[in-house]
Structure 1
Amino acid sequence: MTATMTLLLVDDEPMIREMLEEDLAAAGFDTLAAANGREAMAILDACWNDIVGLVTDIRLGQGPNGWDVARHARALSSTMPIVYMTGDSAWELDVQGVAYSLLVNKPLAAAQIVSAITSLLQRRDSAEHDHKPRPSQFA
């Protein structure tokens, strides 16, 4: 039996969130979904040990943004893969982003998110298997 791989998906747009949930499920992932940064951080606090990766929009309305959510996730897990989604904040990645992350620009195809998170998970697993963490490969 294959272990379930659960992702935290954070997006304040219900239609985007639902589309991505469906496509991630089709790719074999379970998702926990959050509509804003506060909700995402609460889910991370409660379930971080069960979450293998984070997919987050950057602009989440009032409260913590996607950069904040990613830093919170990173504080809980030093190697959790993170995929950022944005239509206007890519330029901030070098300053705001964390290691083990990729950014996908909007508009996007859900296949890009699946590919990005799968790639990061494979790299992380390969690095753990080699017993040589190489975070610079994921920045």
Structure 2
Amino acid sequence: MDESVRILVVDDEAMIIVMIEDALRDAGYEVEVAHSGEEALSIIEQATELAGIVTDIQTGTGADGWEIGRQARRRSPVVAVVYMSGASAGEYAAEGVPGSVMIQKPFAPDQIVTGISTQLNKIASAPE
């Protein structure tokens, strides 16, 4: 990638964060991590160049993944959002932000990279 594209990864499980972080970095993305919903909202509020968010639905303390996606879209209507869940995927139609992606656990790290990359490509090629 020519320019740095920042992705926020939100999960309360350190091993999942490391797995996703490694896959996204290998794909050329700059990665920022949050270990809770509370930390994620703080990062979103301060971020100026956040292109995408990969968030678990169950994030530990603070906001859940649904709220993180909504807050990110309020801040930037074109931010890419990828949700991850093992148990909450059934709520996606009602809770997920439009144009987002749901990836069910367990997943391969490449599925996350594909999900975020596909969204970013759609956003980049959309007419202004």
TM-score by length of 1: 0.89
**1-structure distance, mates of 2:46, 2:62:** 19
Looking at secondary structure, tell me which structure has more helix per residue. 1
One-letter amino acid matched to 1:13: E
The offset of 1:94, in angstroms, is 1.1
CA contact (8 A) 1:80 1:100 kept: no
Kindly report the root-mean-square deviation, in angstroms, between the aligned alpha carbons of the 2 structures.
Answer: 1.1
Q: Secondary structure at the match of 1:60?
A: coil
Q: Secondary structure at the match of 1:18?
A: helix
**1-structure distance, mates of 2:99, 2:51:** 12
| Structure 1 ranges of 4+ moved more than 2 A | none
**2-structure distance, mates of 1:2, 1:123:** 18
Name the counterpart of 1:89.
Answer: 88
TM-score by length of 2: 0.96
Structure 2 unaligned residues grouped into runs of 5+: none
Post-superposition Cα deviations, 1:30-52, rounded to whole Å, max 9, x if no partner, equal 111000101000001111x2110
CA contact (8 A) 1:86 1:105 kept: yes
Say whether 1:77 aligns with 2:38.
no
Post-superposition Cα deviations, 1:61-84, rounded to whole Å, max 9, x if no partner, equal 232100011111011011111000
Structure 1 unaligned residues grouped into runs of 5+: 132-139
> Any residues of structure 2 matched to 1:28-39 within 5 Å, and which?
28-39=28-39
Q: Secondary structure at the match of 2:103?
A: strand
Q: Secondary structure at the match of 2:52?
A: strand
Name the counterpart of 1:23.
Answer: 23
Name the counterpart of 1:9.
Answer: 9
- The size of the alignment, in residue pairs, is 128
Q: Highest Rg: 1 or 2?
A: 1
Q: Secondary structure at the match of 2:114?
A: helix
Q: Secondary structure at the match of 2:59?
A: coil
One-letter amino acid matched to 1:80: V
> Any residues of structure 2 matched to 1:36-47 within 5 Å, and which?
36-47=36-47
One-letter amino acid matched to 1:12: D
**2-structure distance, mates of 1:78, 1:22:** 27
Q: Secondary structure at the match of 2:70?
A: helix
**2-structure distance, mates of 1:101, 1:4:** 21
Identity of aligned residues (%): 40
